[in-house]
Structure 1
Amino acid sequence: MITGWNTWDVTTHTGMVHLPSGLRVRFGVPGAPLDGFTWRDGLVRLGHHTVGGDYAEVTVEAGDGLLHLVMAGGSTDELYVRAEGTAGVLVALDGRDDTDAGAQWIDWRIDWRETGGGPVRTGEESRPADGLVLEFAARVELRVAPHGTPGGAAGVDALLARRRAEAERTAPRSAGWLGDAADAATRAVTWNRIYAPDLGRVLTPTSRDFVSERRRGFYGTWALHAWDTFFTGLVASTVDRDHARDIFGQILPFADAAGMIPNRVSDDKGVTADRSQPPVGALTVRKAYLAGGLSDETRDRELLAGTFPALLAWHDWWPRARRGPYGLLAWGSDPIDGDPGSATLDRTKRESGLDDSPMYDEVSYDPDTHTMNLADVGLVALHIADAEALAAIAGTLGADDVARRLRDQAAKARASADPLLWDADRGGYRNLHADGTHDPHVSPTLLYPLLAGMPDAARAADLAARLLRPQTLGGDPPLPSVARDDPGYAATYWRGRIWAPMAFLAIEGLRRYDLTEASRPLVAALLRLFLSEWDKHSHVRENYPATSGEDVRAFQARSDGLMAWGGLLAYLAYGELADAREDGWRFAHPGEPAELANLPLGDGRLAVTAGDRLTVTLDGRPLLDAAPGVVVTAYRRTAGEVTGIARGSGDLHVSPPGDGAPVRVPVSAEPTPFRITRNETDQHDNDGGMPA
């Protein structure tokens, strides 16, 4: 059972709800709507918010009045709040819409103290069924607790200070080149955690405002989308491993009998039975798993075991249901009785997740295959990458026969798709029409074959150079959803805006080929864009402007202001310092002073600092100390040994398992493997090194 106080109510940022009772406490500015503060209207700054609601801080405005709230809830039954308002403070206590909390007032004690150290006053023991409204001049400290609980409002400030210190101690933290990226990405996850009463469970949709009709959203009170959920889970993995595991599992129970995970499910609009969304589940789950520890000994095996069956069934559904031109995969929509919108071109576009992309302007729907008549490079590549990620998961779980089947499937798919999708005249991959012609439209999806390992190294480098020209997908800001020199480019929605999921997939492909000279400028430019929106507006956006100076805050701009997947731009920047890959961790200096701390691993909390040197620590204990020119890859640390590969210029010291002294490891321009065991530091001095 879910218990305690948190910002469970999707309709408001400025209040907390107690579960299971349903008691709700909301705050506002006198004369303004209590729940009128959204990222479009009045939300000034989101502060710390722990996953469990132990601490939350937010500032809003209405008219000429600013309201600053500091709230401390969590799994206990006691709530502590300090509310400060330049135009007064309004406090409303009632029950959630789905509960009858009015009957429970007699069970609760409400204490408050006004500015100036006035006496603590306790509310009456009975309340009207429609709740209680209180108004204060400027500042109030408030405590809500079960009747008979000792204490009062006098200790609110001290408790809030302790809770804030704890929140700051454990929250992911960034500085320097990374700016406040960690704060932004964290808050986009934690502030979007809500309670869905019809399901009786907690959800983390991509955005409160996007899913709530009362906040000018598109659904009743909640909605989940497939690839949104997986990307949100990946961002959440940098905040809290348990929370991330919960998010990854939210959409999986809604898969149909054939294994299809739906595009969307919501309380008022139900399930999209005709279509799915891009297959990024295994890729994001595997990435989160790898980043959850320094070796398989400390990673979250439960995450893999809990998601693998559904992800495998979804993977196997695609080739059964979405064979398009030349037997390649294509986006589709199945005919559904009673759903006149199904089996249409519009729905096939929506399955792609790129609803109005110019790539699909000239295609049509094929009723025989239930797909568009265009084989899609992005889908083909994502399905191959999905097979590889699932094979790795299967291997970890000991399902070796399944792993072999998936690896073989990926190899055959690469071999058959590559010659069909490669356009020799244009020197790149292109979507393929049923008549055998290659589609001219260009988007970052044409970089996804790198994610799938389709080209050889030389072709990959050439492809990146061609597509990342400033007039195409390069420039600043980079990776618009349609190339700037494409006739369909319009710098709107999926016709040119910059989308974090698309950027993530493209850059992960570049990183697979170690095309650092191509990927690093993209990551830096996207980080600047991400930080600009956060610093100015407290926004983590659904999509970002592709043209300098554009303001995308208006409702008509179709860019939600607090969407968790926007945090992928921060995630990419983290990877310049610390990136968990299939062969182990990569640690590198980003070329500018930077700090990334408190990443939650099964081993402890990881921190990376880039300054005069690059240092990596775990719970404050040193793991690596390197000159800025050193790059460490394939790093793994178990209870018995540390292994990795060093290259670059300068010196490197690696700490062994246990309490041994750091070992100096040889570094050169050529990759040099090293292996250090727990006992070997007793036999070698710090200048020895232990190359494998």
Structure 2
Amino acid sequence: MAGMVPVPSGWNTWDVQYHTGWVHLPSGLRLRFALRAASGATFDGFTWRHGLVRLGPHTVDGGYAAVSVCAHDTELALRVRGGGDELDVLADREGPADPVLVVDEAPGFGGRPVAVRHELGRLMVRHGDEDWVLECAPAPIADADDPRRLVFPGAATVAIALRRAATRAVTADVATADVATADVAAAVAARIEPAAARADVALPRTSGWLGAAGDAMTRALTWNTIYAPDLGRVLTPTSRDFVCREREGFYGRWALHTWDSFFTGLVAAWVDPAYAEGIFDQILSEAGGDGMLPNRVSDDKGRTDDRSQPPVGAYTVLKAYLGSGLSDQTRRGELLTRAYPALRDWHAWWTRARQGPHGLLAWGSDPVDGDPESATLDRAKRESGLDDSPMYDDAALDPATHTMNLADVGLNALYLADTQALAAIAGILGDEAAETLTRDAARLARHAAGLWDADRGRYGNRWADGRFSEHTSPTLLYPLLAGLPDPGPAGALAEALLDPAVLGGDPPLPSTARDDPGFSTRYWRGRVWAPMAFLAVEGLRRYGLTGHSRSIVDALLRLFLGEWTEHSHVRENYPIVPGEDVRPLAARSDGLMGWGGLLGYLAIQELADPRPEGWRFAHPGRPASVEHLALGEGSLGVRAADRLTVTLGDRVLLDTPPGAVVTGYQRTTAEVRGVVTVDPSDGRLLVGVPPAVAPGEKVAVRVGDATWIAEADGHGLVRLEPCGPSAAEFSVRAAVTKEFSAKE
């Protein structure tokens, strides 16, 4: 299948059941680790609730991965070089239990026999008709009942190397192997260490105020990437625990959810834009003939043909595209061209299928033959993504329209924001539908005025009989995302809803307002959810309400980093009450969920935020840095210290005083553009020249109304001094043209 990233080949952690297992594709041969106590009890079911201690780095292609687990009072730390047809493992044990290596075949690959044998001084693995050479140090002892289980009694460190055999070997069964060579461990380490070093510079890294947010958001993606044998492709569901029944999940071995996949793809965009494209494609390819993207599709429960999920596709795809480069010249255009047709069809489906009260959209569920639970209120709630929200406690399903009797603010605002994003995508692609979509957005905005509750001075969900609902959640902030209110009412709306007794406080943005009669500490009735927080904060930022957005992001970052530091968790949802333990299964909060990384993404946006008009770079007011954001031009870094510095690889793009805010930044081959807001007391601003300019060449520079000729220094920078106005547009062009009135 074209466009698949990662490519389903080589060794990786893509068997959904085991974090301590490596499966080879396309063969299905699997190696996995367990721990055996002196009693003989063996444990290998490491999950977030059972013995998974700490995730290490994991590259997208599996070239390097590391993980630590614990059982029987013993910790086992694994470092692995994979990705291709060779596998190297170093396992460090601390505790009384013995490491055990299990060699078998992952489910779904045909059930070919696997045997481990000793031949001519070597351990051999036979998988079907393929032979592999297995080198181990120290020498293992084969389990008497199953020679595919190799035990390393008392070993503090185990080194494993597995390679395809050059020729088919004649083998003989043995119970033990004493053929490990003294240099195996050194050879394995010599191959693993460079792979670890490459991983360190290939993935986003953060520090300072951002802490390890980059590690957390990245590992919640790459460690949740799995392989679906029945589809023949790699998938990245939001959580492998959630989708795998053997890990206490709710499906067989894989499942995808629509808005989960869009948010996961957005977070992945700064790890690897091609990786993000693959994640978007895995759900977009599931569109039905009517254009609907299903709420869920899975191996054992199939598709939800009665319902979809919130329309956030165009918004997240556009945001991922904008973040893939510094201008359209270098952004990943394939992402838009592949996604646009399905996004366009899904957009049209909503207006056909979900017309509710007052001519506005409402959540629903269509009748499906053979599905007695379709066309029910419970299913309509699930379409909202907010399954048990008090907003829908008193709702009913209209049998004529199959929608709730409630026009929902969140749905209509998201649909409007998605219409605007789809229009922008169409414009970038040169589709004439851009004009129609723009007109549709204006019409939708006028119609959505019917959701303004003048008595309360805010937007509200509206019942079919015209009454406004009493319930309050962050979805009432989504109109800011869509640009619905004028600036004055927008500020007042935010001020009222973000009162500490409502949706403010610490932590902020509970999924149900604190003063709502339906508020509790559970699930969508009160927990903090990263997708909801992301959409609300994006709306605040659209209106420049940084006083609110910055304090919210700061509080959510503390929550995010606290769970990561203490438990190595990136959570499905976060506790609203300090000290609540959300780890048990009954608490309904998965421990590693890709969309939880949106809280780290929000914080990184305080330094670097791709917007339709160009990038925004700013100092968060505290020392912080982010490195290795994957762009089409190379690796982007932003460091906030005594100055704010933006780099591309080893080239400085911007060097500004800490009080400067750069917006609308774009960098093409011929020009660098932006708007800088600075403190007049420190106006020194260094701007990198366009790529076409060599050090020492002269360029035309405009700052505000002043234009002059400047010479690029030896580092490819020009110095600008916009000390007059507090905000000025700068433009650095690769060639001096006659349109400028040059000043030396």
Q: TM-score, normalised by structure 1?
A: 0.95
What are the superposed Cα offsets for residues 281-315 of structure 1, whole Å, 9 maximum, x if unpaired? 10000000000000000000000000000000000
Q: Which residue of 2 aligns with 1:164?
A: 196
1:322 counterpart residue number: 354
Map residues 278-297 of structure 1 onto 2, 5 A cutoff: 278-297=310-329
Contact 1:478/1:526 (CA < 8 Å) preserved in 2? yes
Compute the displacement of 1:518 (Å): 1.1
2:695 paired with 1:663: no
- One-letter amino acid of the structure 2 residue matched with residue 656 of structure 1: V
Measured on the aligned residues, the alpha-carbon RMSD in Å equals: 2.1
Cα deviation per residue 1:215-255 (whole Å; 9 max; x = unaligned)?
A: 00000000000000000000111111111110010011221
Retained in 2: the 8 A contact 1:109–1:123? no
Aligned to 2:731: 675
* Post-superposition CA distance 1:141-162 (Å, at most 9, x none): 0101111399955411111111
Structure 2 CA distance, aligned partners of 1:95 and 1:688? 73
CA distance in 2, matches of 1:102, 1:296: 51
Mapped contact 2:59–2:202 kept (Cα < 8 A): no
- Residue 64, structure 1, aligned to residue 98, structure 2: no
Report 1:408-447 matches (<5 A). 408-418=439-449, 420-447=450-477
Shift of 1:679: 3.6
Change (3 A) 1:392 1:552: same
Correspondence 1:252-651 to 2 at 5 A: 252-399=284-431, 401-418=432-449, 420-649=450-679, 650-651=682-683
Relative to structure 2, which stretch is displaced further, 204-213 or 88-97? 88-97
Matched, 1:28 2:34: yes
SS of the residue 1:230 aligns to: helix
Contact 1:42-1:61 within 8 A present in 2 as well: yes
Q: Cα 1:202–1:128, aligned 2, differ >3 Å: closer, same or farther?
A: farther
The answer to whether the Cα contact below 8 Å between 2:140 and 2:152 also exists between their aligned partners in 1 is: no
What is aligned with 1:111?
135
Using the alignment, how far apart are the partners of 2:659 and 2:22 within structure 1? 49
Q: Report SS of the residue matched to 1:426.
A: coil
2:397 and 2:405 in contact (8 A); partners too: yes
CA contact (8 A) 1:111 1:153 kept: no
- Given residue 64 of structure 2, which amino acid in structure 1 is its aligned partner? Y
Structure 2 CA distance, aligned partners of 1:51 and 1:320? 39
Cα distance between partner residues in 1 of 2:44 and 2:287: 34
Aligned length: 675
Q: Is the 8 A contact 2:358 2:464 kept in 1?
A: yes
Which position in structure 1 is the counterpart of 2:151?
Answer: 134
Q: Is the Cα–Cα contact under 8 Å of residues 278 and 352 in structure 1 kept in the other structure?
A: yes
Question: Which piece of structure 1 moves more, 338-347 or 135-144?
Answer: 135-144
Sort the Cα spacing of 1:440 and 1:492 in 2 relative to 1 into closer, same or farther, 3 A: same
Q: Report the Cα offset of residue 123 of structure 1.
A: 11
Unmatched segments (≥5 aa) in structure 1: 115-120
Cα distance between partner residues in 1 of 2:725 and 2:597: 34
| CA deviation map 1:423-456 (0-9, x unaligned) | 0111100000000000010000000001111000
Output the CA distance in 2 between the equivalents of 1:498 and 1:375: 24
TM-score, normalization by structure 2: 0.88
CA 72–366 in structure 1, closer or farther in 2 if over 3 Å, else same: same
Query: Deviating runs (4+, > 6 A) in structure 1?
Result: 127-130
Superposition pairs of residues 88-237 of structure 1, within 5 angstroms? 88-99=98-109, 100=112, 102=114, 104-105=126-127, 107-114=131-138, 131-138=148-155, 139-148=157-166, 153-237=185-269
Q: In structure 2, what is the Cα distance between the partners aligned to 1:360 and 1:91?
A: 50
Identity of aligned residues (%): 59
Q: Distance in 2 between matches of 1:228 and 1:669?
A: 44
- Contact 2:98 2:151 (8 Å CA) reproduced: no
Q: Structure 2: 5+ residue runs without aligned partners?
A: 1-6, 116-125, 168-180, 695-711
1:636-678 CA deviation, whole Å, 9 max, x = no partner?
Answer: 0001000000113132211111343322331566431111012
Instruction: Output the CA distance in 2 between the equivalents of 1:354 and 1:640.
Output: 47
1:250 maps to which residue? 282
Gap change, CA 1:385 and 1:232, over 3 Å in 2: same
Contact map agreement 1:421 1:429 (CA 8 A) in 2 = yes
- 2:519 match: secondary structure: coil
Aligned equivalents of 1:497 and 1:129: distance in 2?
Answer: 47
Q: Provide, for residues 46-99 of structure 1, a one-character-per-residue CA deviation record: whole Å limited to 9, x for no partner.
A: 00111111111011101211111111101x211000112222211111111223
- Which amino acid letter does the alignment assign opposite residue 160 of structure 2? L
Match 2:687 to one of 646, 654, 660: 654
Moved more, 91-100 or 236-245: 91-100
* Counterparts in 2 of 1:398 and 1:137: CA distance versus 1, 3 Å: same
Q: State the Cα distance separating 1:412 from its structure 2 match.
A: 0.3
Matched, 1:13 2:32: no
Counterpart-to-counterpart distance in 1, 2:690 and 2:263: 33
Distance verdict in 2 for CA 1:591–1:668, change over 3 Å: farther
2: distance between equivalents of 1:292 and 1:577?
A: 16
Q: Secondary structure at the match of 2:221?
A: helix
Contact 1:291 1:601 in 2 (8 A): yes
Checking the alignment, whether the CA contact within 8 Å between 2:311 and 2:418 is kept in structure 1 is: yes
Is it true that 1:83 corresponds to 2:100 in the alignment?
no
Partners of 2:287 and 2:436 lie apart in 1 by 23
Instruction: Give, in whole Å, the separation in 2 of the partners of 1:384 and 1:377.
Output: 11
Q: Which residue of 2 aligns with 1:118?
A: none
8 Å contact from structure 1 (residues 102, 130) kept in 2: no
Distance 1:667-1:262 versus aligned 2 partners, 3 A rule:
farther
> How far apart in 1 are the matches of 2:404 and 2:630?
43
Aligned partners of 1:688 and 1:536: how far apart in 2? 58
The answer to whether the 8 Å contact 2:103/2:114 transfers is no
Contact 1:481–1:502 (CA under 8 A) maintained in structure 2 = yes
- The SS at the match of 1:455 is coil
Secondary structure of the residue aligned to 2:475 is: helix
Q: What is the distance in 1 between the residues matched to 2:643 and 2:28?
A: 52
Cα offsets for 1:569-626 (capped at 9, x unmatched): 0000011000000000000000000000000000110000000000000002100000
Query: Partner letter of residue 247 of structure 2?
Result: R
> In terms of mean alpha carbon deviation, does 423-432 or 643-652 score higher?
643-652
Deviation at 1:136, TM superposition (A): 3.5
| 2-structure distance, mates of 1:562, 1:522 | 22
Kindly provide the amino acid, as one letter, of the partner of residue 109 in structure 1.
V
Decide whether the 8 Å contact of 1:22 with 1:101 is kept in 2: no
Aligned-partner Cα distance in 1 for 2:586–2:114: 39
Contact 2:205 2:212 in 1 (8 A): yes
> How much does 1:352 deviate?
0.1
CA distance in 2, matches of 1:530, 1:647: 31
CA drift at 1:101: 5.0
Q: CA deviation at 1:2?
A: 2.5
